[in-house]
Structure 1
Amino acid sequence: MSVTTTLKKISASTTGRRGGSYHAAGGPESNHVLEKRNITVAVVGLSGTEKEKGCMGSGKSCLCNRFVRPGEDDYYTDHISVLSQTDFGGRVVNNDHFLYWGQVTKGTSPDIFSEMNQELGMSTLSSGPGGVMGGGGAGLPPLPPGVAGVQTTFHIVEQTEFIDDSSFQPFKSGKTDPYVKRCATTKLTSAEKLMYICKNQLGIEKEYEQCVMPDGRMNVDGFVCVFDASDVPGRSVERVVEYTAACLTQLIKTKKPIVMAATKCDEADDAMQRELDRLLSRKEFKSANIPLVETSAHNAVNVDTAFMVLAHLVDKARPGKLKVMSYQEALKCRQEMCDFAAEAYGALIRAQVNDYRTLWVTASKRVQHCPEFKRYVEIYGRDAAKRTFVQHTKRLKEQYIDSRVQAYLRVLPDILLDLLPDLDAIKDTDWVDVKEQLRSHPDFDQYFIDRPDESWEDLILGDDQNEDGLCDEDRVPFQLLNSDDAEQCYLQHRQSLESEDRRNDQRRAFKKLLEETGFVTPGKALSEVRVLFMGQDCYEDLPEKDIQDIYDEHQQEITERAKKHFKELLVERADLFYGFANLGNGCVIGQDDIQNITQGLQEDIRYKTLERLDQERMLILLRHLGFIGHGPVRASCPAGPVTHCMDRLIGRVLQRAPRPRSWARSSAWALAHSETGEQKLNVVLLATKPLLHSFSHFFKVSDEWL
């Protein structure tokens, strides 16, 4: 099981709140008995004027802030010790040189933390119920103080020294003992003293949460002594070490448990750390067994651990030695937990927000009760949560714009093909000139929308969207043509036209080559003549499919031409068919007859041309014999029963021809119907008398026309 998996379980099993508690899994449903206790902790360390502490403090206030109010939105990095007389006398400071930070309850679950100890490679160094400390920090539930199911309420006091902003000297209040002696006070009294939250609270206390120090008095149960591990300008190492040593000397006299907290380890200086190790190695301090916890309030690393270790020391009935994680080990655990929280919150936002137009107010209300959101806000703050949301909606917006642009670019080639179908339609090769040519095209408004005062992104994200967030305007924003992708699309279109133009030239050249060569005859396959075209540019450059299509088309043309010529040959050689005219129903044309006809035709080139299409040639011959032998009927017309048969063509012309009105007044010119249903046509002949008498006599003596 990974550290991240363990942290997931911790996140689900342990919660915390400011001024409240971290509830452990030791409730009624647990098999473990929940123990409760209260302790008061005084946080002490280097204080005083700038001469003593340098240009900044030692980190006491940040340490207390992160422990009592660990949420990022409740954590303040700027705390002030230089005050006006008014602020010093206010109810928060209350004319004291200490601050009451309020109370916080921390709870632990034995099952979760014993598993976490194993996952993080920690070990229990006691034979009893002692535990391992480490990894704790604001936002990360504290490790158990050696006892399963313990709920501890901490009252936190910070011993400091406030400076008058007019004299820049410490305020005179009550006892005038120096700080190193005063910080070891175990009995604190201050009636109606309010909990400190931040420096902006001073003077406007009513606008902040007001929590009074219980009973106006406190008995200190233990001390957290702060040692700044960073290098601060204007502060000598020797001064810090001696000042801390003096404080420890006084604290040891109280016989109260002490924990040394190295603060600002995220900016630790090697020299300061070495000096701290030497300090704790001194004989007078080594015998006190003062545990060292490396912390960073800004990074929320090992903050809870320092106080939980002290709680374990206060509870003297709990045996066992403690092993505290180093800063680097705890930082790694903290970072893994932060990464897990960020990943979980990111997944939550991606699942809940899929519209770039969603507002933060709406989204935050939607996810405010989700544990992923609460955890992320506790670690990173609401501003960071909002930034993550804004980044997500920005990505959604970019993805939407990109999807629309890609959709426009997909249809742009078709638009260019419609408006610029060939190279002749492109007047100039320059893209700038081509865009103006498109703008002046009659069909421009059908394909493009042109609003010069708006960018194409604004057009895509404009008001032309339906309820689903989809753009109803499907025309391409003309400004999109200014993009490199649009120009590349045009270049590809032009290249395609040029390629197609070259291809058409090659197709025509290959077609001409087929027409000019005498080796391609009807019925001959491409494979038989392919070798003849080797080396020809038009053949070598064309794809195989084009070559086959052109050859098939050419074969169809010469075959139809050869069939037509063969039919003309049959008409020309009417002498071969005289004997088969008007055959009766019982007469049959034999193989000898066909052979005789074939012998009379075989020397003609029109007969030889269809040599490879012998079956089709025979079929044409048999149809012609049928037309001759069984009478000229439309179905067997050699010219074609539908297209070129004159009987059908004349009939169609007569049907479509306008009928003069005189035909409607007189029935003499109308087609008369006989009893058998046949139509009779009245004909007027205009000719010279001899020719007229001859023609009239022919019709009168012919039974076919009567």
Structure 2
Amino acid sequence: MSSSSSTSNKIKEINVIVVGVSGSEAVKGPSGVGKSLLCNRFVRPAADEFHREHSSVLSQIDFCGSPVINKDHWLYWGSRLLNCPEGSTPSVNSWMTKRSKPLLDVRKLKTTVRDAAGRVYRVGTTCDVSKDSPLHSNHVLNIAKAISKTKKPILIALTKCDELSEDSKRHYMNLFLTTKELKHVLCNLPPVETSSVKNVNVEYLFGTMAFLCLRSQKLVKKPLGYQEASLFVEQRNLHVKCCFSTLLSQAVPLCVYPKKCLSWKQVLADIDRHPDLMNFVTVFGSRVAFEMYERYVSEAKELWAMNRLRSMVPRLFDIFQVFLDVVDLTEMEWNMARDYMRCHPLFNVLFEPNEYDLDMWTPKTFNVDEKSRLPAEILLLPEAAKVFEQFRVTTQNLRLVHQLGQEFEYLLPEIPQILPGASLDSSYPYFQNFGIVKKLTPDLIAEVYDRFQQKLMDSARTQLEECLLEASSSIQNSWKSSEYIHVDFKRNVRSYLEGDERYEWMKLMEMERDRIILSFLPFIFNTSPLNCPSSDMCIDIVGTSILNDFSEQTSTFGGSSGFSECFEATRKNSGKKIPRIQICAMCGDRLSIDSLATALFHNDFIKSSNLNYSSDGSNYLEVFDEPTQNWNTLEISMSSYHSWHHKNDTNPKQFIEFTDGYLFVYNSKRASSFNYARCAIEKLSETNSVNFDCILVVAVVEGGGSDSMKEISV
């Protein structure tokens, strides 16, 4: 109780009356001088309670005749406690004139002041410096003179300094300084430059009045000019805004957006009564606080979207390879490349063509799948241009390296001294003086040379295998079967091949050469399907399935009648109703087999038969006889060439006895294939039981088309 009484004793009530020009628009202009705004800003400093629009003229009707807050021509705004360094707490009551006519009579002013507060310690007069008309200036000067005669302490406030004109300020300052009645007023403090809208020097104005009434002259400081005071307020407001922004970032961290995105109500529940929030609402208002929250969330959303886009930028390098891999990039700029990609047919396959709309960018918009389409807006990022430049430089360098490597690789086959299996060190002296070599790095030279050597060694292996196939029949005829178990058999094969260039070409690959020779020894000794070098592609094994696959097809285009003529001659020569035709081809030679089947079964004169397959793997087809216009049935079987050289004495006599015609197919590019066909025909000639009109030799020419097979009658 004592503490409360002591506190109440320290509070001193001070009445401050704000006087200024009032009345009709003819006197004060279209807007007032700012008395209401000045009182409003001081008594209710919070932004939510500050209003820029106030009625300029009031009467008792507005207050239903109540004299409590409206003492005829005075409007009571309220009170506010101010802190004083001396320990006392002044309570400042704010009163303001509201009249339909200007108050110019000093006696009426004294009476009105006493009516308003009984005893007045301080009187403030306002002057709108934005108005410099002579009529307004005269009214301001007359009011100031009238107040100065009341012998009450007064203070002049210049309002609306945010609309200040230096000429107007200079005009009123000269007007006050040249008026002798106001000299004692200006000797203590100069006019205070205020702005109620920006809250500049308002609290200083009323606080100074309170300090003067308390006889605390030493606490009164010289007022700051408007520019300086406005700068101080702006810095304070900026600090308040920064503190509130930091508070928002703590409530809704950017690093966890959009996983944690609170609504405004949830944010208020977390930071309620926080000093930074209260200061911001006081200075800027709750509506501005909400707008700042929305702006913060929008920035967080945009930042998240941009970061998400930037995380996809590395994928552009691979996408550029799809669009620009074969495009000339020498003089291409980023804008040209972007326009080129947008016109590309695959653009909508790799990019989402949506226009930029931040409201559509939600966490669900971006698929985390690396194979998903990229937003087209990624091409607008500066980072995309940097990736393109990196891609352009890298691609040009790779193309140059590839071109130089190709030129070097084309040069290597022209050097006959380089043998299969030769090391780079041993071959380097043969091409070290070439100009192209000086442009290549050692690593690229080694890479190209290794690739060339790999092709060279593969070619050497293939040619040695071809050499062994060509020589196998001669070797078989020159040795007896008992020699296979002799330890010098491999050496004898090597001595037989020594004169061949293909054998000598692999002298640096001796172990590989011996391995190939060793793998062919079983086949050279015994040419059975199990020892065939083509393994699963041996004609004796897959011949039946080949006939079955192609005989089930329907003819789609016209073919040569050479086959049908040979087949018809065979039928007539044999005298059988269904003669048998034997087809022989090279094992593993896909070109010969495919060309034969295509020409044989895609033929207008030949079609598949409805008869069932025979037990020995042969097939049936029908051949058209043009003279009789009839379709005659033939039995077709397939066998390999090496079956003619089998050591079994009953073979090939066994199938020669039951065969009426022969069709031999060889690859014109392979000497071994022709050699086998020749040997087979020689075997037939030894029997003296074959009509050569029933033999057809077919040469397969690589390149396709209608001339892919050349028919040669024997």
Asked if 1 retains the 8 angstrom alpha-carbon contact of 2:176 and 2:182, the reply is no
3-state SS of paired residue (2:82): strand
Corresponding residue number in structure 1 for 2:122: 222
| CA drift at 1:221 | 2.5
Corresponding residue number in structure 2 for 1:263: 159
CA 352–543 in structure 1, closer or farther in 2 if over 3 Å, else same: farther
| CA drift at 1:94 | 3.6
Tell whether 2:371 aligns with 1:438: no
What are the equivalent positions in structure 2 for 1:84-95 lying under 5 Å apart?
A: 86-87=61-62, 90-91=65-66, 94=70
Q: Distance in 2 between matches of 1:365 and 1:469?
A: 30
Q: Distance in 1 between matches of 2:124 and 2:110?
A: 11
3-state SS of paired residue (1:162): coil
Asked if 2 retains the 8 angstrom alpha-carbon contact of 1:89 and 1:95, the reply is no
TM norm structure 2: 0.56
Q: Distance in 1 between matches of 2:263 and 2:515?
A: 84
3-state SS of paired residue (1:40): strand
3-state SS of paired residue (1:320): helix
Corresponding residue number in structure 1 for 2:242: 343
Corresponding residue number in structure 2 for 1:385: 289
| CA drift at 1:247 | 1.7
Q: Distance in 2 between matches of 1:319 and 1:485?
A: 63
Q: Structure 2 residue aligned with 1:534, among 416, 421, 435? A: 435
Instruction: Note the alpha carbon deviations across 1:401-428, whole angstroms, 9 max, x for none.
Output: 54566677766776786799878xxxxx
Q: Structure 1 residue aligned with 2:99, among 154, 157, 162? A: 162
| CA drift at 1:326 | 1.2
| CA drift at 1:57 | 3.4
Q: Distance in 1 between matches of 2:112 and 2:496?
A: 141
Corresponding residue number in structure 2 for 1:102: 78
Corresponding residue number in structure 1 for 2:564: none
3-state SS of paired residue (2:94): strand
Q: Structure 1 residue aligned with 2:278, among 370, 374, 380? A: 374
Corresponding residue number in structure 1 for 2:57: 82
Tell whether 2:298 aligns with 1:394: yes
Instruction: Note the alpha carbon deviations across 1:90-141, whole angstroms, 9 max, x for none.
Output: 548746111100112233xxxxxxxxxxxxxxxxxxxxxxxxxxxxxxxxxx
Q: Which amino acid aligns with 2:294?
A: V
| CA drift at 1:561 | 3.4
Q: Which amino acid aligns with 1:249?
A: K
Q: Which amino acid aligns with 1:534?
A: G
CA 581–51 in structure 1, closer or farther in 2 if over 3 Å, else same: closer
| CA drift at 1:337 | 0.9
Q: Which amino acid aligns with 1:329?
A: E
Q: Distance in 2 between matches of 1:373 and 1:223?
A: 36
TM norm structure 1: 0.56
Q: Structure 2 residue aligned with 1:553, among 435, 441, 451? A: 451
Asked if 2 retains the 8 angstrom alpha-carbon contact of 1:228 and 1:263, the reply is yes
CA 47–552 in structure 1, closer or farther in 2 if over 3 Å, else same: same
3-state SS of paired residue (1:438): coil
CA 273–533 in structure 1, closer or farther in 2 if over 3 Å, else same: farther
Q: Distance in 1 between matches of 2:373 and 2:179?
A: 75
Q: Distance in 2 between matches of 1:432 and 1:291?
A: 68
Q: Distance in 2 between matches of 1:286 and 1:313?
A: 13
Query: 5+ residue gaps in structure 1?
Result: 1-26, 108-144, 164-168, 171-176, 191-216, 424-428, 664-679, 696-706
What are the equivalent positions in structure 2 for 1:292-303 lying under 5 Å apart?
A: 292-303=191-202
3-state SS of paired residue (2:454): helix
Q: Distance in 2 between matches of 1:430 and 1:146?
A: 72
Question: Which structure exhibits the higher relative contact order, with contacts defined as CA atoms closer than 8 Å and separated by 6 or more residues?
Answer: 1
Query: 5+ residue gaps in structure 2?
Result: 328-335, 549-612, 617-647, 658-682, 688-714
3-state SS of paired residue (2:196): coil
CA RMSD of aligned residues (A): 6.2
Q: Distance in 1 between matches of 2:515 and 2:145?
A: 128
Q: Distance in 2 between matches of 1:338 and 1:546?
A: 66
Asked if 2 retains the 8 angstrom alpha-carbon contact of 1:230 and 1:272, the reply is no
| CA drift at 1:497 | 13
What are the equivalent positions in structure 2 for 1:278-677 lying under 5 Å apart?
A: 278=177, 285=184, 289-290=188-189, 292-316=191-215, 318=216, 320=218, 322-327=220-225, 328-353=227-252, 354=257, 363=267, 367-399=271-303, 402=306, 438=345, 456-457=355-356, 461=359, 476=373, 508-518=406-416, 520-522=418-420, 523-525=422-424, 528=429, 531-534=432-435, 548-562=446-460, 613=508, 616-617=509-510, 619-620=511-512, 645=533, 653=541
| CA drift at 1:181 | 4.1
CA 347–529 in structure 1, closer or farther in 2 if over 3 Å, else same: farther
Asked if 1 retains the 8 angstrom alpha-carbon contact of 2:157 and 2:194, the reply is yes
| CA drift at 1:77 | 2.5
Asked if 2 retains the 8 angstrom alpha-carbon contact of 1:412 and 1:489, the reply is no
Q: Distance in 1 between matches of 2:251 and 2:90?
A: 38
Larger Rg belongs to: 2
Percentage of matched positions with identical amino acids: 22
Q: Structure 2 residue aligned with 1:58, among 30, 33, 54? A: 33
Corresponding residue number in structure 2 for 1:147: 86
Q: Which amino acid aligns with 1:301?
A: V
Q: Distance in 2 between matches of 1:626 and 1:438?
A: 56
Tell whether 2:222 aligns with 1:247: no
Corresponding residue number in structure 2 for 1:211: none
Asked if 1 retains the 8 angstrom alpha-carbon contact of 2:15 and 2:92, the reply is yes
| CA drift at 1:338 | 0.6
CA 653–501 in structure 1, closer or farther in 2 if over 3 Å, else same: farther
CA 568–685 in structure 1, closer or farther in 2 if over 3 Å, else same: closer
| CA drift at 1:351 | 3.9
| CA drift at 1:69 | 0.7
Q: Distance in 1 between matches of 2:414 and 2:493?
A: 32
| CA drift at 1:518 | 3.6
Q: Distance in 2 between matches of 1:471 and 1:625?
A: 59
Corresponding residue number in structure 2 for 1:673: none
CA 543–238 in structure 1, closer or farther in 2 if over 3 Å, else same: farther
Q: Distance in 1 between matches of 2:453 and 2:196?
A: 90
Asked if 2 retains the 8 angstrom alpha-carbon contact of 1:59 and 1:264, the reply is yes
CA 653–322 in structure 1, closer or farther in 2 if over 3 Å, else same: same
CA 414–287 in structure 1, closer or farther in 2 if over 3 Å, else same: closer
| CA drift at 1:554 | 0.7
Q: Distance in 1 between matches of 2:516 and 2:380?
A: 69
